[in-house]
């Protein structure tokens, strides 16, 4: 959103999903009351640095990062919020100062801030005190998110609690002072929403989200009998596949295996993000895999799928869409399909802030395949990223070293012999023998003298 778009957005004033807040060097308590009410009602935008009448006052740019960090810390503090609401930030330059747009999506929980339930009525954050009001709020949220289904007979023995040390290590790597690190295993599962009480039935227990994230394979097949993720490579054999991976296990292991599948079959290329060299292949694969797992409707019998072809990689997963059609940066408001799973993935560093996946795909896809991604939501959510150099080399019948050398060349082409040898996992003699064979087979082009030989893809 630019400055002109901001002014247009402010013209309609405050309402059920729009709130203006003045803000100094840190947000006041009433900002979090609005966060709570938006998450309980239908989601909305909070504009920090705007007066009640819509006048842009702005916040000091030097304070912008600390304001956003403060909001994240408060939202994830279990002593302040009963469950962590999702937040997305967009700083908007207003000439010397800035307005921070905070998008708060509708969430699956009944959220409490400092022990109080807030709901949104017109442009007012209303405290809910009566039991009937709070019960109505629970009923309104019921069945919106199927990941919240409670299984009272699902026991801790049915979960892969041996995964929790890895979970804690991932959390610590992202944020050393994360409040979850001080919790027991049981409390961590409760605070992450994986153990809930159904306010209507009184039943309490582990949720479908808990089973999917940490369940044994048998438990996952019990709560989601049709669940599977299919990963296919179709380069030479486009009628069937050259390689296939079928996964029916927990989402933590599924994520890692899908990431490895993408890295194995999608060549990388050197890319500078500012002054920092990054792997855009890894960024794209991470965003596609994360979206495939986090935003799927798990009660749908259709499989999630990732397919790598000669000129693109595409994912498709069943969706319970709020709208149908193409997704672009100009017209999308991110809404989590499985907030519990999304929040868990975010805390362990397997996903970023809500909406960041779409922005990253639009940012890096043109550098990877020369075109914007194609994203569309509906009964199936599909994402396609063009990979003009992905799968261009036949891999069927080739050795793992051949595939490795082809990937190295695609990353640095034209690649010098000395650089290929340094990056490869085999000896210099073996590498040069394989390079000669790849040239002979027409899979690589060699340029220059033997002393200064360089290789590129045909």
Q: Which pLDDT score is estimated for 333?
A: 65
Residue 436 lies in a domain: yes
Same domain, 240 and 375: yes
pLDDT at 244: 93
Is the residue at 394 inside a domain?
Answer: no
Other Cβ atoms closer than 10 A to 441? 12
| H-helix or E-strand spanning residue 9 | helix 3-10
Quick one: 381 and 236 in the same domain?
yes
Using alpha carbons, select from 229, 227, 159 the residue that is nearest to residue 195.
159
Same domain, residue pair 206 and 86: no
Residues 291 and 237 in one domain: yes
Per-residue pLDDT at 389:
46
CA distance 34 to 74: 13
Torsions phi, psi for 374 (to 5 deg): -115, 115
Residue 362 domain flag:
yes
Residues 309 and 370 in one domain: yes
CATH of the domain at 61: 3.30.950.30
Alpha-carbon gap, residue 115 to 112, rounded angstroms: 5
Q: What is the pLDDT of residue 376?
A: 87
Indicate whether 307 and 353 sit together in one domain: yes
Q: Is residue 307 part of a domain?
A: yes
Task: List CB contacts of 240: < 8 A, sequence separation 6 or more.
Answer: 234
| Helix or strand holding residue 431 (H, E) | helix 428-440
Asked if the structure places residue 176 within a domain, the reply is yes
From 223, 239, 263, give the residue that closes a domain.
223
User: Look-up: residue for tokens 């893809």?
Assistant: 457
Query: Could you tell me if 345 and 413 lie in one domain?
Result: no
**Which bin fits 391, alpha (ψ -120 to 50), beta or left (φ > 0)?**
left
Query: Tokens 């009923």 — which residue?
Result: 139
For residues 233 and 300, membership in a common domain is answered with yes
Residue 34 neighbours by CB under 8 Å, 6+ apart: 19, 21, 44, 46, 104, 118, 120, 125
Return the pLDDT at 391: 39
Flag whether 60 is in a domain. Answer: yes
Residues 154 and 239 in one domain: no
Q: What is the CATH number of the domain that holds 296?
A: 3.30.565.60
Residue 92 domain-assigned (yes or no): yes
Cα within 13 Å of Cα(334), Cβ side? 24
- What distance lies between CA 5 and its chain's CA centroid? 27
Q: Show the tokens assigned to 445.
A: 């082009």
pTM of the model: 0.61
In the chain, the number of structural domains is 4
Structure tokens at 228: 């599977």
444: domain CATH number is: 1.10.10.10
Could you say which of 353, 386, 419 is where a domain stops?
386
Last residue of a domain, one of 340, 363, 386: 386
Distance CA(378)–CA(321), nearest Å, equals 5
Alpha carbon of residue 244 to chain centroid? 24
Do both 322 and 418 map to the same domain? no
How far apart CA 189 and CA 183 sit, in angstroms, is 9
User: Does 395 fall in a domain?
Assistant: no
Identify whether residues 135 and 85 lie together within a single domain.
yes
What domain range is 311 assigned to?
A: 229-386
Residue 235 CA to its chain's centroid (Å): 27
H or E segment and range at residue 285? helix 280-294
Instruction: Measure the CA–CA gap between 341 and 209, rounded to whole angstroms.
Output: 6
Please tell me whether residues 59 and 80 are part of one structural domain. Answer: yes
pLDDT of the chain along its 458 residues, tens only?
Answer: 787 888 888 888 898 889 999 998 889 999 999 999 999 888 889 999 999 999 999 998 889 999 999 999 999 999 999 989 989 898 998 887 899 999 998 887 889 999 999 999 888 999 998 888 888 787 667 656 789 889 999 999 999 999 999 999 999 998 899 999 999 999 999 999 999 988 778 889 999 999 999 999 999 999 998 899 999 998 888 788 889 999 999 999 999 999 999 998 887 766 777 777 788 899 999 999 999 999 888 988 889 999 998 889 999 998 876 666 788 877 666 677 888 999 899 999 888 766 678 888 999 888 888 789 999 887 788 999 988 644 344 444 567 788 778 878 876 768 888 888 888 888 888 888 888 888 887 788 888 877 778 888 77
Distance set, CA 192 to CA 88, 188, 201, 205, 344 (Å): 19, 6, 21, 13, 7
Number of neighbouring beta carbons within 10 Å of residue 303: 17
């Amino acid at each position: 959103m630019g400055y002109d778009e901001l002014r247009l957005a402010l013209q309609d004033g405050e309402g059920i999903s729009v709130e203006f807040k003045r803000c100094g060097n840190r947000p006041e308590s009433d900002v979090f009351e609005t966060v709570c009410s938006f998450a309980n009602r239908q989601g909305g935008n909070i504009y920090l640095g705007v007066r009640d009448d819509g006048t842009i006052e702005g916040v000091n740019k030097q304070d912008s990062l600390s304001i956003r960090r403060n909001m994240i810390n408060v939202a994830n503090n279990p002593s302040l919020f009963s469950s962590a609401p999702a937040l997305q930030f967009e700083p908007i330059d207003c000439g010397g100062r800035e307005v921070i747009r905070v998008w708060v999506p509708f969430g699956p929980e009944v959220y409490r801030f400092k022990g109080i339930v807030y709901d949104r009525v017109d442009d007012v954050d209303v405290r809910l005190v009566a039991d009937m009001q709070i019960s109505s709020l629970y009923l309104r949220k019921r069945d919106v998110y199927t990941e919240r289904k409670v299984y009272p007979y699902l026991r801790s023995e049915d979960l892969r609690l041996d995964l929790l040390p890895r979970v804690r290590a991932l959390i610590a790597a992202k944020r050393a002072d994360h409040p979850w690190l001080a919790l027991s295993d049981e409390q961590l599962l409760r605070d992450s929403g994986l153990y809930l009480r159904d306010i209507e039935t009184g039943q309490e227990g582990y949720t479908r989200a808990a089973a999917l994230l940490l369940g044994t394979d048998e438990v996952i097949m019990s709560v989601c009998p049709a669940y599977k993720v299919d990963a296919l490579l179709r380069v030479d054999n486009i009628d069937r596949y050259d390689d296939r991976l079928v996964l029916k296990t927990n989402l933590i292991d599924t994520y890692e295996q899908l990431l490895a599948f993408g890295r194995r079959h999608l060549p990388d290329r050197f890319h500078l993000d500012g002054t920092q060299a990054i792997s855009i292949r890894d960024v794209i694969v991470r965003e596609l895999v994360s979206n495939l797992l986090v935003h799927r409707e798990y009660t749908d019998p259709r499989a999630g799928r990732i397919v790598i072809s000669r000129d693109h990689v595409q994912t498709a997963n069943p969706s319970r869409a709020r709208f149908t059609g193409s997704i672009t940066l100009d017209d999308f408001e991110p809404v989590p399909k499985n907030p519990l799973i999304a929040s868990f993935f975010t805390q362990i560093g397997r996903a970023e802030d809500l909406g960041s996946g779409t922005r990253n795909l639009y940012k890096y896809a043109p550098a990877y395949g020369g075109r914007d991604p194609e994203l569309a939501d509906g009964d199936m959510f599909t994402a396609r990223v063009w990979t003009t150099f992905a799968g261009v080399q036949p891999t069927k019948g080739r050795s793992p070293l051949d595939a490795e050398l082809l990937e190295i060349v695609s990353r640095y082409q034209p690649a010098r012999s000395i650089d290929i040898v340094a990056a490869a996992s085999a000896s210099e003699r073996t590498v040069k023998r394989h390079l000669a064979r790849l040239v002979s087979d027409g899979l690589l082009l060699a340029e220059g003298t033997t002393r200064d030989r360089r290789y590129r893809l045909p």
